[in-house]
Structure 1
Amino acid sequence: MTELEETDLTQAWTDWIEHAEDAFIAFNITEDAKRLALIRFYGGKKLKEIMKTLHPAIPTDKKEPTYKTMRIALDEYFSEKTNKVFERHKFRMLAQEVGESTHNYVTRLRTQGAKCNFDNYNLDQAIIDQLTEKCTSHKMRRAYLKETDITVQKALQIAYTYESTEAQACQMEQGEEGTNVNKVSSKSTKESDDGHTYVFRVTSDDTAEEKVMIEDVPVRMLIDSGKRQSN
């Protein structure tokens, strides 16, 4: 484990302690004394000083706080370092990016929302508001607005259906465009109902004039036989 970074302490603490507790599980470290010693050791000088400051304020009948009480105290300490008003402003500014899936957008919203001091209910409501206002699809916005009591889970279901359908339709349309590139449509060059194309051979005895249909309009045309006329 690396030392706790001093920039953006709230997020740094959250990421760092989650990593530390994964290590506790992986190496089967269950004793409070060992856990506390490890976070003091690996957390660096700054974290050790913070833990010393918090120690007297932790209510306990023991000489040393339990790991759980120290963890709660540290969580509260670092959460106070966050400007909730500014974090909520950042949350409201998050918009869905072009080509971004709704699932990924909701993940970004939930990550930022964790810094805003929302409770679970209010965070879900805030996510719904952002989805409706800041999504990239007008069709999905209308679909969200049709729901009288929409939840985040319901919104994700709507988005998944829409995004899957759009992706499938695009693939089909691209396939049709590729087929049409090599398709040539032709009309009969002679007025006829049989849809065939005719080739005419003109001899010296024929009149080099023929009636052909151009866009359903009869037109008389002189046909060049390729034979030079003598003077």
Structure 2
Amino acid sequence: MLIIEIFGAFLLGFTIGFTGALVPGPMLFATIELSLKRGWLAGPEIFLGHMLVELMLFILILFGFTSFISSSAVSSISVIGGFALTVFGLLTVKDAKNAASAGISQGTPGLKLTSNPIASGLITSVSNPYFWIWWLTAGSALVLREHELGIFISLAYIVGHWTADLSWFTAVSGSFSRGKALLSENAHRFILYACGIFLISFGFYFMLNSSNAAQLF
């Protein structure tokens, strides 16, 4: 039973992480630009900088929030997190066409980056408002919900999240280092629509089950 729960948490983390990774942002453009200069290793190195920031947040969420959080607070976080997931899903669907076009472009003119990929991953993460909005709402809510089932479940979730990020950005850097786009515009748009619908559906589920989360505390 524990194995199934761990796998489910990993799959959830991977799916949600993949939806976020697909949406173009500073980290994606940094990966494209540096992979053209440094090769396929730029993707994993940029991910490492990104992961260091998320690891710090993950630890703070678990050991900062769970030490004093109440059942009513869990319920509130679940509602806010579910609402945030739904909003992110709606925005993903709404912007899928433009995002798909931007996501396969050869970098972004005028984007200033450090030549160190790890530093670029860290900087593009902490300087992205979307990153903080996500982790202060849906991200923290998801981690806390998985932690209700045990530390190994929450670890499986974050490892799944990181696996999605690492897989995507490695694929992007490997593709662009050879001068090719990873996905066609139509394929990228279709995947973004599917991801958006998933986030909307899961957001509603999250909100509707907020009372069950509170009962576990």
Q: TM-score range by the shorter chain?
A: under 0.3
Q: Kindly indicate which of the two structures has a greater share of residues assigned to strand.
A: 1
Q: State the TM-score, normalizing by the size of structure 2.
A: 0.23
Q: Which of these two proteins has the greater Rg computed from alpha carbons?
A: 1
Q: Kindly indicate which of the two structures has a greater share of residues assigned to helix.
A: 2
Q: State the TM-score, normalizing by the size of structure 1.
A: 0.22
